[in-house]
């Protein structure tokens, strides 16, 4: 049972344009959401997060939007740069896990930013 879904395995955008990566979740207990970025041969690195009490969080070129009623979040990258080419993972967790940093990850979206 895939509780966090990233239905687009890949996305290609031109440099300078907007990249929009989507994520859907099914578990109503999730109330904290994170995006991680992964380059080949490196571990995932934290990008941006949002808690369920917000519907938007912005950090420089990166903005995450959360639609709780639709159980959907998206990551917007504006403007996209070639260095943004990586695999992006959406992850979710209850804030008060009581038992660990148990993140549930999606399967990832490979973003390619072309010149």
Partner 1 sequence: ETGVTQSPTHLIKTRGQQVTLRCSSQSGHNTVSWYQQALGQGPQFIFQYYREEENGRGNFPPRFSGLQFPNYSSELNVNALELDDSALYLCASSLGASSGANVLTFGAGSRLTVL
Regarding 62 and contact with partner 1 (CB under 8 A), the answer is no
8, 32, 52, 85: residue in contact with partner 1 (rule CB under 8 A): 32
Regarding 81 and contact with partner 1 (CB under 8 A), the answer is no
Q: Residue 26 forms beta bridges with which residues?
A: none
Between the CA of residue 77 and those of 34, 72, 92, 97, 104, what are the distances in Å? 15, 17, 20, 30, 23
| Dist. CA 35–CA 75, nearest whole Å | 8
| Dist. CA 4–CA 13, nearest whole Å | 24
Instruction: Give the interface segment with partner 1, choosing from 13-21, 45-53, 65-73, 74-82 (CB under 8 A).
Output: 45-53
Q: Whose Cβ is closer to partner 1: residue 21's or residue 108's? A: 108
| Dist. CA 106–CA 88, nearest whole Å | 9
Regarding 4 and contact with partner 1 (CB under 8 A), the answer is yes
| Residues at the interface with partner 1 (CB under 8 A) | 4, 6, 31-32, 34, 36, 41-46, 49, 51, 89, 91, 93-108
């Amino acid at each position: 049972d895939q509780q966090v879904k990233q239905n687009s395995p890949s996305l290609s955008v031109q440099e300078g344009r907007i990249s929009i990566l989507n994520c859907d979740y099914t578990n109503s207990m999730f109330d904290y959401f994170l995006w991680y970025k992964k380059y080949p041969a490196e571990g995932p690195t934290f990008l941006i997060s949002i808690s369920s009490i917000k519907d938007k969080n912005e950090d420089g070129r990166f903005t995450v939007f959360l639609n709780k009623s639709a159980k959907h979040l998206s990551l917007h990258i504006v403007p996209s740069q070639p260095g943004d080419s990586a695999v992006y993972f959406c992850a979710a967790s209850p804030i008060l896990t009581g038992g660990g940093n148990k993140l549930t990850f999606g399967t990832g979206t490979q973003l390619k930013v072309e010149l």
